[in-house]
Each structure stands twice: as structure tokens, then as C-alpha cells.
Amino acid sequence: MAAPRPTPRPLDTPEQARTLDRYYMAGLVCMALLIVAFPLYKLGEPARRERTLEATRTENITLGATLFAQHCAACHGDDARGGRGFPTLGAKEFLTSVSDKQLQWLISGGIPGSAMVAYDLDLGGPFTAQEITRLVTYLRSLEEGAPSVPGWYRGEAAPPRAVVALDTAAPATSDTTASPPGGVPGQPADTQALRAVATAETERVYASRCAACHGATAEGSAIGPALRPLSAALRSNPDSTYAIIARGVAGTAMMPFAKERGGQLDATTIRALVAWLQESGVTSP
């Protein structure tokens, strides 16, 4: 007669089995919570994404507007309203005819044979890809309510938008003040008072009106010559410097900036710019 087969001992003790059962139960509860949580998360995710995208768009518009004022407004006008002989980018005809990708290409690579140089950092320009995206976002934001400007490609000025443009001009004063010998037309006798005007406000005017062509620190660029330091001839003749800014230079991209000639700067602001430029050193004539 064969001996009975011994009964194998249980792998787990009763205490271990109860502990394992508790772990199994906890795992099932966590799985059930995840199964319920994922649909709830999915329901709220589109709204969160929309809020994030809108916040990013708002930030890009704000930063893009600053970049435009610093680098583009000198040619394309404040708020892209034109009026300076370059295309009016805020016109409905332009904005509805180009895609965001085309705007990106125009800014990045420029337009050969024109004053529109490449602005992409990889092509020798000042902008990173993110900054170009911000500019494109800003320009696209102008499409809603953009005015019709049939002559946008000639730089025909658009009517003012509802949003008030940044006013960088100093308070206007009368231009009838007598000019001292060798001074700027209408310049006060006390040049120290004029030096006081040529402060951070003047630098802000330069950044928004002149830096796009003449460089952020007036060091010059492919479009415009260096302005600081001035040549000895210009530094010794403020009238000539004033005239260049006020009247422009025919046959070049330097358009008139004086209000009486269709520009945006009053005589006081132009005088302050002249004084600010004269504060630098002097180069040879």
C-alpha cells in the first residue's frame, strides 16, 4: 500500500494572505479612481488649453507690439498705419491676403532689392524665431477691424484705430522762438534746459522712430548710417541735423519727421533728438 502524499504547506500564512488581499483591494480602488478621473480630466482639459493659449497669445501681442514699435514703426508707421512711403501693414487688403506663414517668411528673410532686410537671427538679423512669432501674432491681431487702404502697397496712411497709439512726442511748443547763431531753429538760449529734455523720453522716441534704420544705439545698420557719434560737420551745425530729421533726405528711406511736413514729431522733440545725438563724441568730417 502506497504511503499518502504529504499535503503542501500554504505559500502564505493567513496573516500574509489577508495583507495581500488588502493590497489587492487598495489597487482596485486606485484603478477605479483613475478610470473615473481620466474622463473628468478630459472634460476640463480643453478649457485649460484654451486659457493657456489665450494667455500666450495676449503676451505675444503685447511683446510683439513693443518689438514693432522699436524696429518697424519707423518705416511702417505707428500701429502699422503706414503713411511713410512703405507698405501699410495694418490695412485690411494686406492682412487678408497673407497667411501667418507668409508673414513669418517676409519678416525672417526680408524682400531682396528693397529696404526690407532679413530680420531672422540666422540670416544676420536681430530677431529670434520666438520674437518673429510675436511680431506675426501682433500683426494678425490688427486684422479684426482693420481699415480698407487701397493704396497700402504705396504706404497710404490708414485712419487711426480705436486703440490710442503710444504718444512718444514731447509736449508741443511754439516754433517761433528766435534761433541763436549756429543753433537749432527755435532753440532756447539756455542749452542746459534743452539737455534736460534729451533724457529717457528722447531715447524712447529714438527707439520707436529711428532705431529700425539706424540701430538700437545709433550705430548704423544696412538701411541707415550711424548717427552716434556725429561727424564733426554735423555736430558743429545743429541746424543741418535738425533739417535732416525735419525734412528728410530725398531719394532715400529717410522721410520727413516734422509735423508740418506730414511727420509725427514736433519741433521740441526734434530739438531734443539733435541734442541727444550731439552729446556723443565726434568723428572725422
Q: What's domain 191-283's architecture?
A: Orthogonal Bundle (1.10)
b or e along 62-72 (b: 16 or more beta carbons within 10 Å of the residue's beta carbon)? ebbbbbbbbbb
Rg of the chain over all Cα atoms, to the nearest angstrom:
32
Span 160-185, average pLDDT: 42
Listed in sequence order, the residues at least 6 apart from 152 whose beta carbon sits closer than 8 Å to its beta carbon are: 82, 87, 88, 89, 91, 93, 94, 158
What pLDDT, on a 0 to 100 scale, did the predictor assign at position 85? 82
The top-scoring range by mean pLDDT among 28-37, 138-147, 157-166, 264-273 is: 138-147
Distance of alpha carbon 202 from alpha carbon 275, whole angstroms: 10
Task: Classify domain 63-154 by CATH number.
Answer: 1.10.760.10
What pLDDT, on a 0 to 100 scale, did the predictor assign at position 275? 78
Span 142-146, average pLDDT: 91
Indicate the range of 10-19, 168-177, 256-265 predicted with least confidence: 168-177
| Residue 10, preceding peptide bond in cis (omega within 30° of 0) | no
Query: What's the predicted TM-score (pTM) here?
Result: 0.48
Indicate the range of 190-204, 224-238, 240-254 predicted with least confidence: 190-204
Q: Enter the C-alpha cell of residue 169.
A: 512726442
- Can you state the angle between helices 129-141 and 14-71, rounded to 10 degrees? 70
With 50 as the cut, is the pLDDT of residue 177 above it? Answer: no
Distance of alpha carbon 169 from alpha carbon 265, whole angstroms: 6
Distance of alpha carbon 53 from alpha carbon 47, whole angstroms: 10
The larger pLDDT score, comparing residue 210 to residue 122, is at 122
Cite the residue boundaries of each domain of the chain with CATH code 1.10.760.10.
Answer: 63-154, 191-283
User: What's the pLDDT band for 200 if we cut at 50, 70, 90?
Assistant: confident
Paired strand residues for 231: 283
